[in-house]
Structure 1
Amino acid sequence: MPWFSTNPGRGDSNRQHVCGAFTPLWSVHSATFSVEKRNATKNEFIFAGTTIARHWGMKTLIPFVCLTSMLSFSACSIDLESEPEGPTAKDAQQAWPTKPTVEPISLESITRACIAYTACDADNALGLMQVEICLTDLAWSAERAIPISTSNLLFSVLGDTNERAEFFVDCVEKSKDCGEIKGCITSREADFSCEEDGCKANTTYSVSCDGTVAVMTTDNSTIRRDCARVFGECDSKSPTGCTDRHYTASPSSPPQPDRCDGDVRLGCDSLQQVSYRDCSRLNGVCKQTEDSAICHYGDAICEKTVRCEGETLHACLDGASATVQAPHLCPPPDQP
């Protein structure tokens, strides 16, 4: 399965169950996990490791395979059973009552944004790999309708940000130089986590609003979060300060197969949380299969996620393809 696929089986919901997902050890992609499924008190040790790994990004691999192994086997000894978080949601509307209207983004626009962003990186030696990782995170986050989040524990270009992918792509397209491009994303606080079940704050904040900016305070710190960057509003009653999509509980037990609600792929994981993927974010559709549902983006077969052909960069996402001119990444055959 290509690294860039946004439909890896059951997706986040399975990959976040560390004990079952960590076989074999060398399957790095299967070893990725998220702490969002657990209460913070059960995951402080995991959160520290994932935060370090994400900050080191692509520059580390082997050390964090070992780290993931250690954390995974430690997690297996913890009682992970808990009540589902949030109100019960029977459909997509209940899963996100404050859903904003946002124009979808194309694979081509995502590719252009990633090329522009990585071109501004002084350490751009990895070239196509950086573009591919950027594409992965943007597509992964857009489909889940969450702020840009790292989809792989060991590799990151953008990191976890305060902005949704649609905001970032539009901002990059309007930017005139690298200074403006770098300003299109801001790092998200480590105790804010987002994945297909939604967004949550692992710290309790007191929230006040300054226009669209959520001013979030604890006894020790104050942070400001601009909700306009997620196409939301400030909400003083929101644990994340904004009208994000928060965790909701599934009405069904045991967990049921994924299903389509319009073009939203809804699921219920083993922790009774509603999983949510909006296939329309990337101009796709939700398709019901015999035993589940998938986000469908086209019928093309791609051998590689990102590849060069002359000065043209070809990108592929679950059947959707895009071509973008990228001479600095894809030099002509007569050049090194």
Structure 2
Amino acid sequence: MKKLLSLFSIGALLSLLVVACSNSDNRLLIRINQPKIGVAISNLNDPFLSEVKTAITDEARGKLKVDIVDCQDSQPIQNDNIDQFLSKKYDVIAINLVDRTAASHLIERAKEENVPVIFFNNKPEGTDLQKYDKAYYVGTLPEQSPSLEGEIVVDYSKAHPEADKNKDGIIQYVMLTGTPKEQDTELRTKFSVDAIENWGLKVQKIAEDTAMWDRKKAETKMSSILSTQVNKIEAVIANNDDMALGVIDALKAKGYFNGTKYIPVVGIDGTGEALQAIKTGTLLGTVLNDGKSQGKAISQLAISLAKKKIPSQDNMDFEMTDGKYIWIPFKKITRDNLDEAE
């Protein structure tokens, strides 16, 4: 009887081991057979792009193998990254362009290998996407965010007439811009000011400089501007939140935000640090660039393409426009609606 029980126990244990090994093999096979996406991001030190990266990875978990590289703001490095993805036979490639003018070449390379390509957060120029039926874009309508940024300045100016220090009816402002020749830099610089003027307010630019989307560079640039223009500045407009925070660092060093001295500063992106600065009252407002939704859309689109499906709301949570574009809406954020961004 004991021998029979022992044999039964051993048999049961072996059965469990076979099932466990079988399940493990199946899970391993699924992982091995997962489609692969190569993601080339212009600069992973950028807080917003870092947020997009995290969202891509989170949404792809268990469905896509994700390989993300930092192109260090170098187009030649990005070109090499794309060539490596193609040589490794990745199923889909996603690109946050360093230089918009490089899109045409990268599309041709992807087309040669018949690999779908998704551009995001820096839209290719002109009709480049039309050159390949498997080229797509995930991002925002670029003129919308600066228009909302300008509206934040308008709202503040109308509610605070004392902001017009010299009582001339003109907003004297400083502009901190991103990387030269980038689409976002050009449009954010233009449309933020256009929006203020469209609301009937007059503006005068006191100074403008590029800080390359970087907080420390913005602090340095703003410190230099403050050394000669401090008493003339009535508002600071930055192309992104990181630069806006750098401006605030420079202003704090001059004794601002201590209860008596204040200059309104606005940015774009809605990063965590920016939202905290709004809460403490140092940043007037920002425009939420929804990085989580962008990353989620990129992964869902990549999964659909890797499975040879036509991208649509049947297999994604996002609506496509003209079979090429997924547009993520912006939202302006101030202390009045901070809870909508947190």
The normalised TM-score by structure 1 is 0.27
Structure showing greater radius of gyration is 2
The normalised TM-score by structure 2 is 0.26
Q: Which has the higher helix share?
A: 2
